[in-house]
Structure 1
Amino acid sequence: MTTPPRLRASRAATDRTQSPVLASVSEAVGGTPLVRLDRLFPESGIEVLAKLESMNPGGSTKDRPALAMVRDALRSGRLAAGGTVVESSSGNLGIALARACREHAVHFVCVVDSRTNPSAIATIRALGGEVEIVSEPDPASGDLLTARLHRVEGLLDEISGAVNLYQYGNPANPAAHADGTMREIADATDHHVDHLLAAVSTTGTLAGCSQYIREAGMATSTIAVDAVGSVLFGGTASPRHLPGLGAGVVTDLSLTVEPDTVVRVDALACVVGARLLARDAGILAGASTGGIVHALGTLVPDMRPGTRAVFIVHDSGTPYLHTIYDDQWVHETVGADPGTLARATSELQERARRG
């Protein structure tokens, strides 16, 4: 299958084989491994591949859009060295932007909320970013993301010349995944992917991957894994305990995406999936990836034998060691004790087992 010329032209940007010594840490963004997971749902009869975006320099898939959005703003003249970027983030984009802004001599202010992992906040600060924490939800909607966006607006008024990259609608966000993430997956699989699973928040990853799939003429079904309580794709708003999965507002980018399937997962499913992935595949991933693994396990019975399913490992599980991997936190926050987790894991494995 022929790769579209625009996407072929982007390959040089992420081809690490061109030089054994990279010019900067930004040149290490992309080119992440795609690995086969034979021990995850081994009796399912399907081929499971994982795209390890957790191996980007910042530990997440957000390294791609962060770098793309900063460089796009600089090229367009909206942003210049010495300027300021103000952005809302649940954590990972903030980490990625802190590095990208520092490398391009731009000041960075990140607006997070009370659900953000303390380790993510500490990392942003360590990389030179400034952090503003929103503790109370928006009074009208009861949503923390809405409150973050309002605080961004306030900071833009307070800081002269500050720029908001607006990850929720910036076309450079999905473009980074069309030109990078999905192109790399397609190249590694000879454009043969039956199902692609990605978690959604801004929906930038899924939007970009869907764009490549469409332009390359791939026969790939897209599966959006969303949080229970997210309003994306017709969901109903309710409290969400985990950052980085789902959204309390309908993002501009989500309006450009029509996934073939939407699977909604709760916090318990994310915990079960993440721990199963760590135990059976040796991959320590974050909560959203745990949700993907759980969703995949529930969908396996409807997939024909020999199906190839690829999922995105959106970020590392290290920042979650004191949350989804901690029994006390899970018990207090999710309401599940070790026995409940063991039963839920067994039920998922049994469901994914054929015959």
Structure 2
Amino acid sequence: MTVIEEPTLVGRSPLVRVHTPVPRPHPGYFAKIESLGLGGLKARSASSMIAGARRRGDLREGAQIVESTSGTLGIGLAYVAQALGHPLTLVVDSELEPPMRNLLHALGATLEIVERPHPTGGWQQSRLDALQRILSQNPGAYWPNQYDNPDNAAGYGGLADEIVTGLAESGVSRPDVLVCSVGTGGHSTGVGLRLRQIWPDIRIIGVDAVGSAIFGQPATHRIMRGLGSSVHPGNVRHDMFDEVHWVGPREAVHACRALACSGFHTGGWSTGAAATVAGWAAHRWSGPVVTIFPDGPDRYLRSIFDDAWCRTRGLLEAPRTSPHEIDDCRDPADCWTRCRTVHAPQHITELTV
């Protein structure tokens, strides 16, 4: 039995009601806890991308898979590659946490570690450059290219359907707001487009990281991993979003710690950022709000949940309880910031690799 042959093994994570008063008291929102599904959130996209490549003949039997990752996709790919007999090489960077490195090794992956960020494209571009060198040396290897692969987003149709079913079982006929963190654009696009087919008027809020280039800001150094990007992923559907929020690390840390204390469903940077905006949206709108918690807390025990680590970075100081407002996505967003006019950044090109 494999992940591909038995798709019910992927997904089926719980949908829970969250009342943690972050960033301020609210009536509650629904969160899909993806860390409790087999392989996590990105096992869905990994399964979809590898199945699509095998179906098209792009990935031969037993061929090597090579991908760049900050960690989470690597876990999903490791589950799928191991089950199907594909050797897996993951290009990571030196900021990847030692426990995550150990886990990826245990799952059978080979790690290529990049030691320095690219001068303008950061760790992401540096990893992509290394990936291209590996591909040039291994002609039969396959690169899923999570940033621009439509199968990435397609893998999240099941997640959207699970949200619909879970809400119905909770007595909710439709949500007013979907809050999604945005990185490669995979789960935000896959879930967002599917839910908008069902509920055309649903409000979709994108959650990015301060210092990310996805929605038109200049790329700068980011403490937060797992959301945001220094490049422009082709999977991101800018026209789908009604508004975007850039969340800072202080807000994400506060949310993760508050969730752990009061709700027991917590996670890392993307979860903390999504929880911050979902709580804000639940306070602002009277109708149901739903979000996705992409990861769990395990890999963040030496960062988000480490007092000394956070204190040296000023992350234990009081966070904002509401966003700064800007009219144009190109206006400065150096703290938690909201923009209600979303356009694709100018001069978006394909990834430079």
Which residue number corresponds to residue 344 of structure 1?
319
SS in 2 for 1:311: strand
CA-to-aligned-CA distance 1:133-157 (integer Å, 9 cap, x gap): 1111123x15110111111111100
In 2 relative to 1, CA 137–45 (structure 1 residues): closer, same or farther, beyond 3 Å?
A: closer
Query: What is the distance in 2 between the residues matched to 1:121 and 1:257?
Result: 36
CA-to-aligned-CA distance 1:236-259 (integer Å, 9 cap, x gap): 211101211100001111146531
Structure 2 counterpart of 1:110, from 90, 105, 109: 90
Query: 1:24 deviation in Å?
Result: 7.8
Structure 1 counterpart of 2:13, from 11, 32, 49: 32
Asked if 1:201 is matched to 2:183, the reply is yes
Query: 1:42 deviation in Å?
Result: 11
Structure 2 counterpart of 1:156, from 135, 148, 173: 135
Query: What is the distance in 2 between the residues matched to 1:25 and 1:228?
Result: 39
In 2 relative to 1, CA 95–42 (structure 1 residues): closer, same or farther, beyond 3 Å?
A: closer
Query: 1:335 deviation in Å?
Result: 2.1
Query: What is the distance in 2 between the residues matched to 1:32 and 1:82?
Result: 30
Paired residues of 2:29 and 2:282 also in contact (CA < 8 A): no
2:247 partner letter: V
Which residue number corresponds to residue 275 of structure 1?
257
2:275 partner letter: V
Which residue number corresponds to residue 238 of structure 1?
220
2:98 partner letter: P
Paired residues of 1:233 and 1:254 also in contact (CA < 8 A): no
In 2 relative to 1, CA 289–257 (structure 1 residues): closer, same or farther, beyond 3 Å?
A: farther
Q: Unaligned stretches of 5+ in structure 2? A: 323-353
Paired residues of 1:46 and 1:303 also in contact (CA < 8 A): no
In 2 relative to 1, CA 128–219 (structure 1 residues): closer, same or farther, beyond 3 Å?
A: same
2:160 partner letter: M
Structure ranking higher in helix proportion: 1
In 2 relative to 1, CA 27–299 (structure 1 residues): closer, same or farther, beyond 3 Å?
A: closer
CA-to-aligned-CA distance 1:274-329 (integer Å, 9 cap, x gap): 1111112111311111011122344444323xx21111010111111111000111
In 2 relative to 1, CA 168–153 (structure 1 residues): closer, same or farther, beyond 3 Å?
A: same
Query: What is the distance in 2 between the residues matched to 1:194 and 1:152?
Result: 41
Amino-acid identity (%): 33
Which residue number corresponds to residue 331 of structure 1?
311
Query: 1:45 deviation in Å?
Result: 4.9
1:171 partner letter: P
Correspondence list, 1:212-223, <5 A: 212-223=194-205
Query: 1:99 deviation in Å?
Result: 1.4
1:176 partner letter: G
Query: What is the distance in 1 between the residues matched to 2:15 and 2:226?
Result: 22
CA-to-aligned-CA distance 1:134-181 (integer Å, 9 cap, x gap): 111123x1511011111111110011301100000111111111x211
Asked if 1:174 is matched to 2:153, the reply is yes
Query: 1:209 deviation in Å?
Result: 1.2
Paired residues of 2:22 and 2:255 also in contact (CA < 8 A): no
Paired residues of 2:117 and 2:123 also in contact (CA < 8 A): yes
Which residue number corresponds to residue 353 of structure 1?
none
Q: Unaligned stretches of 5+ in structure 1? A: 1-21, 349-355
How large is the RMSD of aligned CA atoms in angstroms?
Answer: 2.2
1:281 partner letter: G
In 2 relative to 1, CA 281–116 (structure 1 residues): closer, same or farther, beyond 3 Å?
A: same
Query: 1:218 deviation in Å?
Result: 3.8
Query: 1:219 deviation in Å?
Result: 2.5
Correspondence list, 1:283-322, <5 A: 283-304=265-286, 307-322=287-302
Structure 2 counterpart of 1:48, from 29, 40, 49: 29
Query: What is the distance in 2 between the residues matched to 1:185 and 1:99?
Result: 24
| Number of residue equivalences | 316
Paired residues of 2:252 and 2:276 also in contact (CA < 8 A): yes
CA-to-aligned-CA distance 1:161-214 (integer Å, 9 cap, x gap): 01100000111111111x211111112224501111111110111100121023
SS in 2 for 1:232: coil
Query: What is the distance in 1 between the residues matched to 2:63 and 2:218?
Result: 39
Q: TM-score, normalised by structure 1?
A: 0.83
Paired residues of 1:80 and 1:106 also in contact (CA < 8 A): no
Which residue number corresponds to residue 186 of structure 1?
164
Query: What is the distance in 1 between the residues matched to 2:55 and 2:4?
Result: 20
